[in-house]
Structure 1
């Protein structure tokens, strides 16, 4: 089947293109839902369809057999790794119509990770009441390491990951937002129980710090926050995120600089967190989902992480956390995002194929 740019295949009539694709599994098929995207970054289920962000600054709405570009986005700095990035559909979306997205916001000659809030009108494929509720302090003119995943906490607050923006030493400087996970309310206010509220030398939005470039973040089935991040050469990490904790970058790492030079002091330092899992060689992780077990009961609580480098979806479980399988097929070329739908099916974006895919039982 050939796909032209902006072509769309409705899920109701899509046929399996890659089946079965899981090593050791025979009860699954992978179906292409849509193709022809331009650097797709994130997916969210809203209205009666799916929203897909494209890094260069477009938001696409797929519903039934129609495909429309959503109007109303603000100015977006599409530079390098920056642009229109993650999307979050909050739990009360059916009532509020609210959606949240992260994007690279112009800051004079710089760009910084920001969060926007808007109401989504699916009938008009339009955003209204668009406002930026947060932007990082001290952006950068480089196009690297925006981080940029969004998670709604159990209490309705928002977590957003921010990369070090290529300025690695700032990840240990809590007077900037570089290399942090921040927590704000849905209006952008600072929750009073954030760990650094009222502490001199710390920005109050910071929840954790010492991160390099976190491009995956999710909640587990108990409501705990987890994130993964890109290492340099080796040392991609998964971390259970604790309030106020320091995750070490660039003082400690299980990787090296691309030159082969040692990073910081080594792999451990008192007061800095150890990863729950790390990859060496790096897989370039992006997208993160912890599965409910709705369709595959044996996968309940398993971690799913996309690999941009090796073209597969990593499945991890256990304590300590270990990679136990790789979901790999022609569909999994440079996996950017992965989500569980309401029916328990698993959806993912392939940058390599510029496509949206659905995993379901065969």
Structure 2
């Protein structure tokens, strides 16, 4: 995804529109608001600064916060004191390009067994690829550490290059299934080939096996892991309170997407996109009857969505059930009004920095991670 100068962020917000294909729901997007403007809804509290943070997750029962840095460091931040310590036992990662330590997610059973899930990039035969592992987080000793780390899933195949790993994690609301986004590794065509897991979202059991009932289960092998395909670089993944699975996905030049993820659906990449290729060559837009699942909303020019959170708290009561996307090149927090499986109006909050991760805190505050420069950790609460 090409970067846009910060000065263009406001213009980008004005121009971003719902995708041009007739199959997508229309959305409207007004000018960005920024801190100090009338109507700015947030009080912004800076809590910390980190080096290229990528993901964060609150631990059930304590409110302590795990934060990953792409270089391979995992931090544990105390909810009460704000003190932050490094977690030992983190796997070695390939820190290059978009690769490194990625997502972190407590298991649904965390309060019983201490299990946490991590994604990262490793090297191997053929190149590099994303992996998912799980370990027990021990916090009772002199320093927190990961014990009994095991790899439970590998992106297949490993290929050359250091882009489009994706590797976002989400558990189903019932805790029975682990979903993992797997990018196309900047190769395009493998996303239409269901004999590999590039350009897919996979659905696994908590121990990493293909989940029973997956759309291609009868084919066996890695095909049995696949839930959906035709994806480019899905960097956000979350279930809404009603159980709908949503994903945010980076397009090429334009065509960033917000998608409802359904079993067995093909989302079209690289055959269709509401953007164009980096050499300015045309890619057919999504259209009725083309056989591909169209996005609920897309953006052109790009906002570069790096994350996704669906809000369920009470602190911002009017926004319950809405999607929040962290925009990288757009340097913004984007809110999309969700009604069931439909994306409606959207709103842009100009943050003046690349937003990598967005999470809802235990009290309903919105927590934001910037991924470059200061790498600030911010807590957003209602203004006034």
CA distance in 1, matches of 2:262, 2:39: 35
Q: Partner residue of 2:316?
A: 296
| TM-score when normalising by structure 1 | 0.89
CA distance in 2, matches of 1:77, 1:22: 40
1:25–1:96 Cα change, 3 Å: farther
Task: Count the aligned residue pairs.
Answer: 340
After TM superposition, the structure 1 = structure 2 runs for residues 65-76 of structure 1, keeping only pairs within 5 Å, are 65-76=82-93
Give the C-alpha shift of residue 307 in structure 1: 0.6
Pairing 1:140–2:159 present: yes
Pairing 1:39–2:55 present: no
Pairing 1:126–2:145 present: yes
Give the C-alpha shift of residue 109 in structure 1: 4.8
1:194–1:200 Cα change, 3 Å: closer
Give the C-alpha shift of residue 21 in structure 1: 3.2
CA distance in 2, matches of 1:201, 1:24: 56
Would the aligned equivalents of 1:39 and 1:54 in 2 still touch at CA under 8 Å? yes
Helix, strand or coil at the partner of 1:203: helix
CA distance in 2, matches of 1:171, 1:115: 20
Pairing 1:313–2:320 present: no
Helix, strand or coil at the partner of 2:247: strand
Q: Partner residue of 1:59?
A: 74
Would the aligned equivalents of 2:137 and 2:144 in 1 still touch at CA under 8 Å? yes
Q: What value does the CA root-mean-square deviation take over the aligned residues?
A: 1.9
Q: Partner residue of 1:16?
A: none
Q: Given the alignment, which residue of 321, 332, 344 partners 2:364?
A: 344
1:22–1:195 Cα change, 3 Å: farther
Q: Partner residue of 1:357?
A: 378
Q: Partner residue of 1:103?
A: 120
Would the aligned equivalents of 1:174 and 1:201 in 2 still touch at CA under 8 Å? no
User: Could you say which structure has the greater relative contact order, defined with CA pairs below 8 angstroms and 6 or more residues apart?
Assistant: 2
Runs of 4+ in 1 over 6 A off after TM superposition: none
Give the C-alpha shift of residue 72 in structure 1: 0.6
1:292–1:65 Cα change, 3 Å: closer
Give the C-alpha shift of residue 282 in structure 1: 0.4
Pairing 1:239–2:246 present: no
Question: Structure 1: any 5+ residue segments left out of the alignment?
Answer: 1-18
Give the C-alpha shift of residue 184 in structure 1: 0.7
Would the aligned equivalents of 1:20 and 1:30 in 2 still touch at CA under 8 Å? no
Would the aligned equivalents of 2:136 and 2:149 in 1 still touch at CA under 8 Å? yes
CA distance in 2, matches of 1:270, 1:42: 35
Would the aligned equivalents of 1:196 and 1:202 in 2 still touch at CA under 8 Å? no
- Report which stretch shifted further, 154-163 or 90-99: 90-99
| TM-score when normalising by structure 2 | 0.84
Question: Structure 2: any 5+ residue segments left out of the alignment?
Answer: 1-32
Q: Partner residue of 1:90?
A: 107
CA distance in 1, matches of 2:338, 2:204: 31
Would the aligned equivalents of 1:82 and 1:104 in 2 still touch at CA under 8 Å? yes
Would the aligned equivalents of 1:104 and 1:113 in 2 still touch at CA under 8 Å? yes
Q: Partner residue of 2:65?
A: 50
Q: Partner residue of 2:207?
A: 187
